[in-house]
Amino acid sequence: MRKDFLKMLADPVNKTRYPELAQNTIVRDLLDRNEHGSKRASDLDFWEGEPGVNGLHVGLMPGCVYVFRHQGLPVTPDGMVHDICPVLLVTGTGRDQGLEGNTYAFGINLNLLTPYKRAAVLQECADIDPVFWEREMEQLVAAKLPVYSKRTLAALQPDEGWKFIKAICSKYKMSTGSMAFRKYFTKNMSRVRLVDFWQWKLIPFLDFGKGLRGGTISKLQKEASTK
């Protein structure tokens, strides 16, 4: 069955159930407690896809969502707002051309988007590879193989990741200059955790009020839009 993140967001039952589940599963278990394996609640018999993906790909994998602690520069020119807990849909990776050659990941920081636009962005990414979402994901879980979308990874190869971001901005009336679209140097990341694909449905329901230090999350989310 095709995943429809916008329909799941609008479902009244999900609106009641998912906000607390999202906080417990993603924020508490991944970031705060840094739990792994069977200690984490999962819809699929406690199966965790993170070890397989990490063993398959060096660095953060395009087409995946990660949460992490961030200790880098502020996201606003006045230096008042720090993005301390990004929830990043990775659309590409690279290496700085400077002397240090620091590696980085870039993509869409979902905590700086409204719930509707989070769901819309996740849907656009899922639509790159509907076969993965309709049947391959569960098949990979059942076989205990690395769970990721080969087609999405191939589609977001160098330069294509920025094209994906530009297409998202054009379709959903967002500014490419928004703080939601940025790169993060891996040296400034800690507690980097993969959000399993079957947990993506929870992301639009997350309350990111504590994901920033300084500023107002609702104000920043609105500023990510051009209307």
CB 124 within 8 A of CB 152: no
Q: What integer is the mean pLDDT of 22-47?
A: 64
Q: Tell me the pLDDT band of 227, cut-offs 50, 70 and 90.
A: very low
Task: Give pLDDT tens digits for 134-191.
Answer: 999 999 988 888 899 999 999 998 779 999 999 999 999 998 888 889 888 888 888 8
CA 11 to chain centre: 21
79 DSSP 8-state letter: S
Beta strands in the chain (DSSP E): 65-70, 82-83, 87-95, 103-109, 181-185, 189-195, 212-213
Neighbours of 191 (CB within 10 A): 13
Task: Measure the CA–CA gap between 62 and 81, rounded to whole angstroms.
Answer: 26
Q: Tokens 């509907």 map to which residue?
A: 130
Task: Measure the CA–CA gap between 182 and 162, rounded to whole angstroms.
Answer: 10
* Distances from the Cα of 46 to the Cα of 40, 56, 217, angstroms: 7, 20, 32
Closest of 195, 221, 199 to residue 208, by C-alpha: 221
Q: What integer is the mean pLDDT of 4-21?
A: 95
Neighbours of 164 (CB within 10 A): 23
User: Looking at residue 177, what is its pLDDT?
Assistant: 81
User: Looking at residue 219, what is its pLDDT?
Assistant: 54
Task: Measure the CA–CA gap between 129 and 200, rounded to whole angstroms.
Answer: 15
Task: Give pLDDT tens digits for 99-145.
Answer: 566 889 999 999 889 999 999 999 999 999 999 999 999 999 888 88
User: Looking at residue 43, what is its pLDDT?
Assistant: 44
Mean pLDDT of all residues in the chain?
81
* Distances from the Cα of 57 to the Cα of 43, 61, 174, angstroms: 24, 6, 31
User: Looking at residue 92, what is its pLDDT?
Assistant: 92
Task: Give pLDDT tens digits for 52-85.
Answer: 566 555 579 999 999 998 887 666 666 666 677 8
Q: Indicate the pTM of the whole model.
A: 0.84
Instruction: Please indicate whether residue 188 or residue 43 has the higher confidence score (pLDDT).
Output: 188
Q: Tokens 């995943």 map to which residue?
A: 3
Q: Tell me the pLDDT band of 41, cut-offs 50, 70 and 90.
A: very low
